[in-house]
């Protein structure tokens, strides 16, 4: 417990105005924050969109860094990282949504970090119904370090490991089992759907001059048939980031149904799965992904939503 | 004051979980809510984006409706409106931003309604620095009623006026003077900049099957030179909505610099103004707008932002 003493003292002495009321639990290792689903975060079904959910993954992770004092430079880096011009980048992300919260619902988010292998930082999240404690969503992610100038990946040096140590949980496992199946590189000639000529705008870049995660999700979802989205909910998404892209990149988004059945006919399926590939026009892989879609519960329709 | 008695009683008896801690002031006529600027609401300069600010205009307006019980059906309509299949649509919007709040800053938003002419509902907002009380932004808007099926505008009938009366301020003036100059219809042949083939996606539609306001803003900003945005802040925007558009619409965004000087050279100007026009490809007007841009204070740069 001693290792966390300084952390909690630091935290107590900070006067941070996180209006969301975020706080530290379990000797400062778990960050908890309530979020209210806003009118601008919902889709036509009045449920929080997948993109909005992803926004809160990033936001609560950063808030934990701010409230503990671990992040110092506003780029999400620690003091040692900042000194060495290093930033965090997402390597893998796996999200499972059991139920999307609806407009005005209050969601309790817990998040924590742990060591992931020699050179990765794991982070998990649980989204719960703040009233009933029902689990709404789980997510798990691995971050690695990248040099901000050279854009090359970096090992986690001892001084950074020591710096992180008081803030990370003593566990090596994500809260959810990652989808164990390896995502094969999608055979381009076999793709059912493709969108081409995709390019990020200036407003799609985040503070580290990456294309924001939510933009990647948009591109992936653009290659999924709308007829699917009308009847199925996105239940799970797995992403493996292979390479950065920048404002000048021109991308293709390809997808292929991997569960049994045709891409355009879902009538007999309760679950439909797709493999995804985002690549540059020269063929270089940017991202591999898998999405799992579940037939929507028709008792839970738009029109049944009344305050 | 008597007319507000029922309102505040109703409000007290509600157990609404607005985590943002919104509350009613001035006999229930003013709604106040603190908002914290989130990591996903900022641009590369770490300041809240104009689009995010607009999101909170809509959100606080809806929250006032929920907390007072005036809104009943989740479409932003009152009981009488819902019975008559009517919804609110924005007719004009005028926003002035003196200073954009930065990431993690807490902003206090006040909003209230008042009668605007015979068939309009006015709504004003003030955004303040929650610590110093400094005014950050003002906004004023006029809403009118539209039939949800026929999409035709409607008068405000007596029963709806009576229903609204306990909730509206006894004033007829917006908090900021609207830009008094009439926005002329932009002469298409004289436009400096144009973007064509713009079309909303399914995710750009709001709960009333309108194209969301933020999408309109995106389209307007796409027709402004990026060289301007790099050095100027959007100080004010005035929008006059002329006609709805839907998912099948294909639009053009046109703009013309109306302040002195060339569209592509801003070096001598502290303030630059543009007129804007969004129209269908057949020429039908969707929206007229004006934007005012101010030379950015170079002492207030990204790199000076430290926690």
**Matching residue, tokens 């996606």:** B201
Interface of A with B in 79-108 (CB under 8 A): 103-106
Q: Does A195 touch chain B (CB under 8 A)?
A: no
For residue B36, the chain A residue with the least C-alpha distance is: A19
Cβ neighbours of A59 in B, within 8 Å: 38-40
Q: Best interface-test mutation with B: which of A13, A40, A195, A302 has the largest number of B CBs within 10 A?
A: A40
> How does pLDDT run across B223-246, given as a tens digit for each residue?
888 888 888 999 999 999 998 888
Interface of B with A in 197-216 (CB under 8 A): 202-203, 205-207, 209, 212, 214
Q: Please state, rounded to an integer, the average pLDDT across all residues of chain B.
A: 83
pLDDT in tens, chain A (307 residues): 344 444 444 434 343 444 457 899 988 899 999 999 999 998 878 899 999 999 999 999 999 988 888 887 666 788 999 999 999 989 999 999 999 999 889 999 999 999 998 899 999 999 999 999 999 999 999 999 999 899 899 999 999 999 999 999 987 676 666 656 778 788 888 888 888 888 887 667 766 667 877 788 889 988 888 888 888 999 999 999 998 888 888 999 999 988 776 656 666 688 999 999 999 998 999 999 999 999 987 654 433 232 2
**In this structure, how many other beta carbons lie within 10 angstroms of the beta carbon of residue B58?**
19
Q: Is B290 helix (H, G, I), strand (E, B) or coil?
A: strand
> How does pLDDT run across B112-135, given as a tens digit for each residue?
999 998 899 999 999 999 999 999
Cβ neighbours of B40 in A, within 8 Å: 55-56, 58-59, 212, 214
Catalytic residue ranges of B: 208, 210, 245
Q: Does A248 touch chain B (CB under 8 A)?
A: no
**For residue A254, what are the β-bridge partners?**
A194, A277
Q: Is B141 helix (H, G, I), strand (E, B) or coil?
A: strand
Interface of A with B in 4-33 (CB under 8 A): 16-21
Tell whether the model's pLDDT for residue B6 goes beyond 90.
no
Residue B73 buriedness (CB in 10 A; 0-12 / 13-18 / 19+): middle
Q: Does B306 touch chain A (CB under 8 A)?
A: yes
A251 neighbors A236 (Cβ within 8 angstroms): no
For residue B215, the chain A residue with the least C-alpha distance is: A40
CB contact under 8 A, B71 and A307: yes
Which of these ranges, A244-258, A285-299, B49-63, B189-203, has the smallest mean pLDDT? B189-203
pLDDT given at position A175: 67
Those residues with Cβ within 8 angstroms of residue A129's Cβ, 6 or more apart along the chain or in another chain: A101, A105, A107, A108, A136
Nearest-angstrom CA–CA distance, A184 and B47: 40
Q: Does B195 touch chain A (CB under 8 A)?
A: no
CB contact under 8 A, B72 and A307: yes
Tokens found for residue B30: 């003013």
pLDDT given at position A177: 64
Q: Does A153 touch chain B (CB under 8 A)?
A: no
Q: Does B127 touch chain A (CB under 8 A)?
A: no
pLDDT given at position B177: 64
Strand segments (E) across chain B: 23-25, 30-36, 86-97, 106-116, 120-129, 135-147, 153-154, 168-169, 193-198, 232-241, 251-257, 271-280, 285-295
H helix or E strand, kind and range, residue A142:
strand A135-147
CB pairs under 8 A between A and B: 102
pLDDT given at position B214: 78
Q: Is A208 helix (H, G, I), strand (E, B) or coil?
A: coil
Tell whether the model's pLDDT for residue B5 goes beyond 90.
no
In angstroms, the Cα distances linking A93 to A97, A153, A184, A236 are 13, 17, 16, 11
Nearest-angstrom CA–CA distance, B149 and B209: 11
Cβ neighbours of A17 in B, within 8 Å: 36, 104-106, 130-131
Reported confidence tier of residue B299, pLDDT bands at 50, 70, 90: low
pLDDT given at position B179: 59
Count CA within 13 A, CB hemisphere, residue A170.
6
Tokens found for residue A307: 């305050």
Domains and CATH numbers, chain A: 1-178 (3.10.129.10), 183-307 (3.10.129.10)
For residue B201, the chain A residue with the least C-alpha distance is: A222
pLDDT given at position A302: 37
pLDDT given at position B301: 41
């Amino acid at each position: 417990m001693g290792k966390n003493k300084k952390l909690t003292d630091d935290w107590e002495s900070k006067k941070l105005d996180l209006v969301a009321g975020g706080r530290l639990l379990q000797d400062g290792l778990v960050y908890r924050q309530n979020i209210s689903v806003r009118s601008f975060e919902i889709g036509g079904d009045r449920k929080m969109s997948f993109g909005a959910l992803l926004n809160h993954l990033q936001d609560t992770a950063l808030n934990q860094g701010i409230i503990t004092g671990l992040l110092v430079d506003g780029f999400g880096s620690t003091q040692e990282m900042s000194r060495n011009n290093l930033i965090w980048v997402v390597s893998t992300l796996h999200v499972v949504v059991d139920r999307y919260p609806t407009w005005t619902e209050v969601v309790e988010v817990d998040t924590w970090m742990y060591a992931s292998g020699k050179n990765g930082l794991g982070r998990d999240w649980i989204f719960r119904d703040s009233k009933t404690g029902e689990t709404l969503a789980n997510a798990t992610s691995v971050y690695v370090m990248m040099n901000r100038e050279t854009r090359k990946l970096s090992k986690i040096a001892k001084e950074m490991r020591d710096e992180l140590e008081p803030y990370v949980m003593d566990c090596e496992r994500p809260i959810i089992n990652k989808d164990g199946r390896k995502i094969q590189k999608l055979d381009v000639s076999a793709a059912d759907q493709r969108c081409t000529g995709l390019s990020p705008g200036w407003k799609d870049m985040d503070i580290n001059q990456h294309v924001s995660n939510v933009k990647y999700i948009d591109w992936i979802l653009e290659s999924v048939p709308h007829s699917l989205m009308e009847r199925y909910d996105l239940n799970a998404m797995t992403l493996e980031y292979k390479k950065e892209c920048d404002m000048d990149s021109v991308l293709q988004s390809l997808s292929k149904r991997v569960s049994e059945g045709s891409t355009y006919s879902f009538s007999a399926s309760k679950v439909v799965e797709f493999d995804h590939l985002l690549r540059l026009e020269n063929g270089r892989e940017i991202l591999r992904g898998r999405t799992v879609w579940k037939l929507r519960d028709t008792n839970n329709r738009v029109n049944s939503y009344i305050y």
